[in-house]
Amino acid sequence: MYSTVKSLNNNLVLAQNDQQEEYVLFGKGIGFKKKKGDPIEELLITKVFQSKDHQDVSKMVENIDPDVLSVTEIIVDAGETFLEKKLNASLLISLSDHIQNAINRQKEGTEIPDSTLQWEIPFLYFKESKVGKQALRLIEENIGVTLPEMEAAFIALHFVNAQDGVQSMDETMLVTEITKSMVKTIQSLFGVSLNKESINYSRFVTHIRYFMNRQLHNETSNNETNEKLYEIIQEQYPKSYACGLMIREMLKKEYNLVVSDDEMIYLIIHINRVVLETN
């Protein structure tokens, strides 16, 4: 059972449950004439958003324009549809905060320096970057503010961060940095430019993300390595195996991450698949 803390607009309301945990609820007409303490009809609720670790949502949204919250809900919905993924319920609040700050900077004429991320993110996270670009169009259409193109990359990172297994933006940035290093190693060894629009590239990047999540949270596999399969993989894909060894060494040297033989099997297979598409 939810009760009203504050109506943000006709379709958005700040609410709390019986445990006094705060949420942002979305639904057509859900905030119409709502006053503090009013109960909220469950049938009106179409989406529930919360902060990570149930932080004080009231403080987080008090400086966010309700129109920004509304357009962010549209962006999140469009992103989930395009990515075909259910995203973390905290995305609305974190992304609204980012967009509000970006709008404030734009209105104040404050520029942020160009970042290499502007060029790297579309290559590493192609689909999320498309969502970021669509977000800029939706912000312009609904808020009337044109944000710099580089904001599409930062918005894309929020969508990466909101997917399964990712704990924080710091982790997302680290995974992005490591993914970039791995892609650079592959392209350098094979002398190719990977096709960022391909399904195997998308699977490769997803594999890296889940591999890194296991590494960062000490959830490494306890499976015994299939030694025979490992030998077959080495013989069948010698260059991909050599590339895998280079990546393993790089991860150990630069990030103190250990890649097991079991993880190596999957890494080599993904390397081989993603490179084959360039030939």
pLDDT for 40 equals 92
188-228 pLDDT per residue, tens: 999 999 988 888 998 898 888 888 888 887 776 666 668 88
Measured distance CA(209)–CA(214) in Å, rounded: 9
151-194 pLDDT per residue, tens: 999 999 999 989 865 667 888 888 889 999 999 999 999 999 99
Strand blocks (E) in the chain:
3-9, 12-16, 22-26, 47-49
Q: Which residue, 127, 161, 195, sits at the end of a domain?
A: 161
Q: Is position 58 within any domain?
A: no
Measured distance CA(110)–CA(133) in Å, rounded: 21
CATH number at residue 94: 1.10.1790.10
Coil, strand or helix at 6: strand
Burial of 258 (0-12, 13-18, 19+ CB in 10 A): exposed
147's CB contacts (< 8 A; 6+ apart) are: 102, 103, 106, 136, 139, 140
46-77 pLDDT per residue, tens: 888 887 665 678 888 888 999 999 999 999 99
Q: Which residue, 144, 161, 178, sits at the end of a domain?
A: 161
* Number of structural domains the chain divides into: 3
101's CB contacts (< 8 A; 6+ apart) are: none
Confidence of residue 268 (pLDDT cuts 50, 70, 90): very high
Q: Is position 195 within any domain?
A: yes
Confidence of residue 4 (pLDDT cuts 50, 70, 90): very high
83-93 pLDDT per residue, tens: 998 888 889 98
Residues of the chain above pLDDT 90, percent? 52
The whole model's pTM is what? 0.79
Q: Which domain holds residue 226?
A: 169-276
Here the tokens at position 114 are: 């160009």
Q: Which residue, 111, 135, 161, sits at the end of a domain?
A: 161
